[in-house]
Amino acid sequence: MVATQETIDKVKEVASSYKYGFVTELEAEKAPLGLSEDIVKFISKKKKEPQWLLDWRLKAYKKWLAMDEPNWAMVNFPKIDFQDIYYYSAPKAKPKLNSLDEVDPELLKTYEKLGIPIKEQEVLAGVAVDYVFDSVSVATTFREKLADKGIIFCPISEAVQNHPDLVKKYIGSVIPISDNYYAALNSAVFTDGSFVYVPKGVKCPMELSTYFRINEQNSGQFERTLIIVEDNAYVSYLEGCTAPQRDENQLHAAVVELVAMDDSEIKYSTVQNWYPGDKDGKGGIYNFVTKRGNCLGKRSKVSWTQVETGSAITWKYPSCVLRGDESVGEFYSVAVANNAQQADTGTKMIHIGKNTKSTIISKGISAGKAQNTYRGQVQIQKNAKGSRNFTQCDSLLIGDQCGAHTVPYINQHTPSARVEHEATTSKISEDQLFYCLQRGLNTEQATSLIVNGFCKEVMKELPMEFAVEAQKLIGISLEGSVG
Amino acid sequence: MSLLEIKNAHLKLDDKNILNGVSLSVNKGEVHAIMGPNGSGKSTLSYMLAGRDGYELEEGEILLDGISLSEMEADERARSGLFLAFQYPVELPGVGGMSFLREAVNSRRKFLGEEELDHLAFVKEARKEASKMYVKDEMLKRAVNVGFSGGEKKRFEILQMAMLKPKVSILDETDSGLDVDALKIVSDGVNAQRNNDNAIVVITHYQRLLDHIVPDFVHILSDGVIIKSGGPELALEVEKNGYSGLINAA
């Protein structure tokens, strides 16, 4: 029966090619299954929140009850049973951590498997990292060093305790609780996330980073990130995500709000590698995320860079509201969809201030039976005189069973503004493949090279270490899609 | 033993006979020219040798240094030491010339059991070879063949040949799209690589390239068979009388 065993092993090997698909055995403390006003109260109580925040959550919950799920995206999935999700799950016996030595060793091992040993990270990379495991933030490195400059980088649950005025002023200011169905849900049940505040004139000396990990079965992850950058300040923020491999779908509905004051800049980079489900589309993460930057100040700048390779379904439109005169919004995106993955992603650029400028570079790669949609809105409002937008959407198809779709919405209300939209769709040509093969590259090397070339304009926007990881990730995501 | 041996090669494209029994034997240190009119099967022959999908032999055999290529994919053949300089080099948007060269060279080195070159050693070697081909650093930073002039494309092909050190190189219409000066640079580059351990097959429509890359043997291909073989003087005969005289005589 050797052959049979071999077959089984092979199947297992193929099926588990998602290398982050392990589960960590940790005792978890969960809220009862499902969602109700009591659960919202439970979460708020667990977090020892002030009354105003509980009231805010309950308001969001009521709004959510009255809302409908959006149905305009080009994605198909069975209706989500919101009563079959755990809204709070925390590794049990989480003591107050004074140093990394006190972090559960199992948890540290998980991060090592993810390739981000916390301790090494601390010393080597010069990256300050916040780790969000299921619902709670586990450790934030480098805090003291940042605090010297007046920078606050901590879990948002801590910010609620220690910096309530800032949180109260800005939470929901960019994405109101009733903005959309999933944002309302997040507002009601968010459990943790990162909080960043950079004071006037401070350029944050290192990349700040959060690593998100969904571990528990049937649990949703609803993190909330809030970044505020004062006049003349700068921060670069990185976000990475993985999840174990499970047969059922898991929901990730995050909210990220950015606020940029005069002459400030926020650079927000994401490498998203949630479990995409198996080849037939079983399992995987539903990534329904609302991200928006408010360029409040004059000449402020918000720049989104995303490399999306994971998730069964991606529904995500990181946007910029260009309120301040001469403010700048940028969106650089690579979205890879293979096998049965579905991605509907893009951006919104809302030009309100004068002489505002936005750039959109979107690269969609579809392989297998995947469907990949770019959906973007450029809105130039009446007073946004002299504003400009440039949009470029390129789609690359690998194989003949996948699809690429481009859906731009352009609302122009000012004659002096200029909006440009370019779109291309191409395939990896046989000529290109043959040329690479003739130089001795194998099919996978060749595909990876051509695809990374296609994405280059976006990749060069990523911080160096992140770009290397993202390149590998794209190669892995497309393995076996050619030849 | 021949370095490249083509035995009775037959090939069909869309049910049409293109190669009808080509045989050719190329020894170490030799340069062979294959000439022929349009549609004689010259480019098909080069794709067939390089192992392009859809160009599989119907009948016959090819051996590289005694090893059959028939069952090998294109990349395996390349790593084994077969190089094709393309008539129309392909654009690879966003793929930097230097990284492309390095991937190619390291694939070949790995196959040969040699250590992969580290970044610095590689850049040094690449720059040395590039300067011989008048390829500037700036060109190596650009995407492969994107926005290259005809001459730049061909120079980059020969630079790749110099870096990969193949056993057998096939130059497919390397003179097309070149002006006199560029032709000289490219030919000098090819000649510099002639040695007693490798071999070169030049496929060309015109004789002019053979003034620069002087072949040891010339073969005339017509309707998928070699109808006549000889020395360099055969190319001059083509130049003087055209292909029709030779074809009619055959």
8 Å CB contact of B50 and A435: no
Residues of chain A with Cβ-Cβ distance to B93 below 8 Å are: 453-454
Provide CB contacts within 8 A for B124, sequence distance 6+.
Answer: none
Assign B39 a pLDDT band (cuts: 50, 70, 90): confident
Please state, in angstroms and as integers, the Cα–Cα distance from residue A35 to each residue in A83, A98, A220, A384, following that order: 6, 33, 11, 43
A277: its two tokens: 């489900």
CA dist., res. A433 & res. A436, Å (int): 5
- Closest approach of B90 to chain A, Cα-based (Å): 6
8 Å CB contact of B75 and A449: no
- What per-residue confidence (pLDDT) applies to A289? 92
Sign of CA dihedral A141, A147, A149, A152: positive
Q: Tell whether A437 is within 8 A of chain B (Cβ).
A: yes
Among the partner residues B74, B103, B160, nearest to A434 by beta-carbon distance? B74
CA dist., res. A243 & res. A18, Å (int): 10
Among A361, A437, A451, which would you mutate to test the B interface (most chain B Cβ atoms within 10 Å of its Cβ)? A437
8 Å CB contact of B160 and A435: no
8 Å CB contact of A435 and B103: no
8 Å CB contact of A441 and B104: yes
Cα angle at A443 between A441 and A445, to 5 degrees?
A: 55
In this prediction, residues B83-109 reach a mean pLDDT of 93
CA dist., res. B163 & res. A433, Å (int): 20
Count CB pairs under 8 A between chains A and B: 72
Q: Tell whether A454 is within 8 A of chain B (Cβ).
A: yes
Mean pLDDT over all residues of chain B? 92
Q: Does residue B26 register a pLDDT over 50?
A: yes
- DSSP-assigned letters across all residues of A18-38: -TT-------EEEPPSS--HH
Q: Which residue of B has its CA nearest to A443?
A: B75
Q: Tell whether A482 is within 8 A of chain B (Cβ).
A: no
Q: Does residue B61 register a pLDDT over 60?
A: yes
Residues linked to residue A90 through DSSP beta bridges, in sequence order: A29
Burial class (CB in 10 A: 0-12, 13-18, 19+), A153: buried
Among A435, A442, A468, which would you mutate to test the B interface (most chain B Cβ atoms within 10 Å of its Cβ)? A435
8 Å CB contact of A441 and B160: no
Tens digits of pLDDT across chain A (483 residues): 333 444 444 434 443 455 555 555 555 667 777 888 888 998 898 889 999 999 999 999 999 999 988 888 888 888 888 888 888 876 554 444 445 555 566 656 655 655 554 544 443 334 455 666 555 555 555 677 788 899 998 889 889 999 999 999 999 999 999 999 999 999 999 988 889 999 999 999 888 877 665 555 556 678 899 999 999 999 999 887 655 555 566 788 899 999 999 999 999 998 877 777 777 777 778 888 999 999 999 999 999 999 888 878 888 999 999 999 999 999 999 988 888 888 889 999 999 999 999 999 999 988 888 889 999 999 999 999 999 999 999 999 888 888 889 999 999 999 899 999 999 888 888 899 999 999 999 988 898 889 888 988 888 888 776 777 777 778 777 776 664
8 Å CB contact of A439 and B100: yes
ipTM of predicted complex: 0.96
8 Å CB contact of B75 and A438: yes
- What per-residue confidence (pLDDT) applies to A242? 58
A308: its two tokens: 């999306």
Q: Residue A64 phi/psi, 5° resolution?
A: -60, -40
8 Å CB contact of B78 and A449: no
8 Å CB contact of A430 and B75: no
8 Å CB contact of A443 and B75: yes
Provide CB contacts within 8 A for B179, sequence distance 6+.
Answer: B151
- What per-residue confidence (pLDDT) applies to A129? 58
Assign B6 a pLDDT band (cuts: 50, 70, 90): very high
- Closest approach of B95 to chain A, Cα-based (Å): 5
CA dist., res. A5 & res. A2, Å (int): 5
Among the partner residues A440, A449, A450, nearest to B75 by beta-carbon distance? A440
Residues of chain A with Cβ-Cβ distance to B56 below 8 Å are: none
A241: its two tokens: 């995500």
- What per-residue confidence (pLDDT) applies to A108? 60
Domain locations in chain B as residue ranges: 4-95+167-249
Provide CB contacts within 8 A for A455, sequence distance 6+.
Answer: A307, A334, A363, A365, A474, B94
Fold of B4-95+167-249: Rossmann fold (3.40.50)
CA dist., res. B208 & res. B213, Å (int): 9
